[in-house]
Structure 1
Amino acid sequence: MTEFALGGLDELFAESAGWTGGELIGFDLETTGTDPFADRIVTAAVVGPGAMRRTWLVNPGVPIPPEASAVHGVTDERARTEGRPAPEVLPEIAGALVAAVESGIPVVVYRAGFDLTMLACELRRHGLPEPDWSAITVLDPYVLDKQADRYRKGKRTLSDVTAHYGVKLEGAHSADADATATVELCREIGRRHAVIGGMAVRKLHDAQADWHAADAAGLERYFRSKGREESVDQRWPLRLDE
């Protein structure tokens, strides 16, 4: 793995693609629950440059728990009457990510390990083709913020972190609102933390994998110190074998 730390990276500034001011694509899912291996997609959004904005409402084919509906506002009835079947929608969502790869635009996903793993599991569940995950350049503001400001106290939900950076989040937990705010949050993190903002995006993608793995290993050691035999997945941005 490539090892990067915040500091001593002057050689990378010359390779910067200026990503904080460049084109980015935001991606977000709202789901039936918090287990990417068992739960299902309910809504999805891809928000890109200019007028590029696409959203999907999915009939997941399983009941939407009331606690999930309370978060994103989509009820069983709405999903059944207004949503489209998952096998019909999933290729379109995956296709939007493929288009990002083909255009060379990084994809911004908050807690990418959840959303991308969820999409991969859904595609596999329905026997549908997957994107070449290794070709997608991912920027994850959750990972970036933890690396840049790791000792800051408080929660790191999207709402909390956007508030910390002064980024507007209107309509939280709607996929398009979250995707839009995630892109602006990513830019703001890059602007405030020059080493992150100055790295070329593909090197930053690789660095995030290392940062996430190190953070997960540290959390696992903490659990062990408390007598808790819990494992923390060190894989990023996909918690599956590609």
Structure 2
Amino acid sequence: MWHKTRLAAFDLETSGVDVEQDRIVTAAVIGLGGGAPTEQHEWIADPGIEIPAEATAVHHITTEYAREHGKPAHVVVDQVAEELVAQIAGGATVVGHNVPYDLTLLDRECRRYDLPTLHDLLGDAPLHVLDTRVLDQYGLPFRKRPSETQGARQLVTLAQVYELEWTESEAHGCAYDALMSARIVYRIGQLAHMRRMDWPERIKFHRKAQLHHLGGLSVAELHARQIEWAAEQAAGLEAHFRKTNPEAVVDRSWPLRPLEASCESN
């Protein structure tokens, strides 16, 4: 069962939300599950630019702190990519929330410093990814946002839906968010391989719940399905945006945006 295999939970905290321009500030890669010990790797980088106050408000890392405690950005970028490859080579599946953001930004950072990208390092070895955002939206497709300030597919919302304890003071730290993504994947996997009649009431009566369709698939099969589902979800989001902006475009690529791709995000 795919949720019981070795996982490599991955998350970045960055200087902003533009994958083409922004920089890594902190990173985490956590190898866990699959009957092997947990391996936790964390980095803080001096991104070489000023960290905007808006970004600091999210992850609490200031420019001054990053300069004092961070390694040079190119060193961190290289080590993060190398560690992800080492985890994948050991049989791990990469796990995260809204993975195209993190993988794309890592890819652009590698290119910025003329380092081998993740795909360069992998060669012919396959990259398999489990994205909590894609899996949740496919499995429980109709869910309203909890409040005006909290989105239906935010990591905190998923933690609440799958009944995982959320500690706000630790959230938006890359290790915390990476680990939470892995826990959510595990909960989704449990439900996928459970008889529908045994689902918790809150899941059983969810409108058009289809988590059971995720069961019985290999990691490779589930990866391939997510490519299709992510494209469908992006098309739906684009249609929603075009109600107010006829020019809106949402990139449909997953789990990595092509180098030339650009999109509008919510």
Same fold per superposition (TM over 0.5): yes
Cα gap change, 1:21/1:240 in structure 2, threshold over 3 Å: closer, same or farther?
same
Q: 2:156 and 2:238 mapped to 1: Cα distance? A: 26
In structure 2, distance between residues paired with 1:228 and 1:142? 25
Pairs aligned (count): 225
In structure 2, distance between residues paired with 1:227 and 1:27: 33
Between 190-199 and 69-78, report the one with greater CA deviation. 190-199
Structure 1 position 226, deviation (Å): 4.2
Partner of 2:25: 42
Q: Describe how 1:22-33 pairs up with structure 2 within 5 A.
A: 22-33=5-16
Instruction: Determine which of 246, 251, 262 is the counterpart of 1:233.
Output: 251
- The offset of 1:67, in angstroms, is 1.3
Match of 1:168 among 118, 142, 165: 165
Q: Which residue type is aligned with residue 76 of structure 1? A: T
RMSD, matched Cα: 1.6
For the 8 Å contact 1:24–1:108, the answer to whether it is kept is yes
- Aligned equivalents of 1:162, 1:24: Cα separation in 2: 18
What does residue 131 of structure 2 align with? Answer: 140
C-alpha displacement of 1:51: 3.0
Quick one: distance in 1 between partners of 2:242 and 2:126? 35
1:72 is matched with which residue?
59
- Asked if structure 1 preserves the Cα contact closer than 8 Å seen for 2:58 and 2:172, the reply is yes
Alpha-carbon displacement from aligned partner over 1:139-195 (angstroms, at most 9, x marks no partner): 000000001111111121111111111123331100001111110001111222332
Q: 1:159 matched to which residue of 2?
A: 156
Cα distance in 2 for residues equivalent to 1:185 and 1:194: 16
Q: Which residue does the alignment assign to 1:106?
A: 93
- More relative contact order, 1 or 2 (CA 8 Å, 6+ apart): 1
Counterparts of 2:52 and 2:95 in 1: how far apart (Å)? 28
Query: What is the TM-score of this pair, normalised by structure 1?
Result: 0.88
Q: What amino acid is the match of 1:86?
A: A
On the 8 A contact 2:7/2:93 being kept in 1, the answer is yes
Structure 1 residue 225, shift from structure 2 partner: 4.3
Identity of aligned residues (%): 41
Query: 1:38-72, CA deviations, whole angstroms, 9 ceiling, x for partnerless residues?
Result: 11000000111223000000000000011111110
Maintained 8 Å contact 1:189/1:197: no
* Corresponding residue of 1:14: none
Q: Contact 2:227/2:254 (CA < 8 Å) preserved in 1?
A: yes
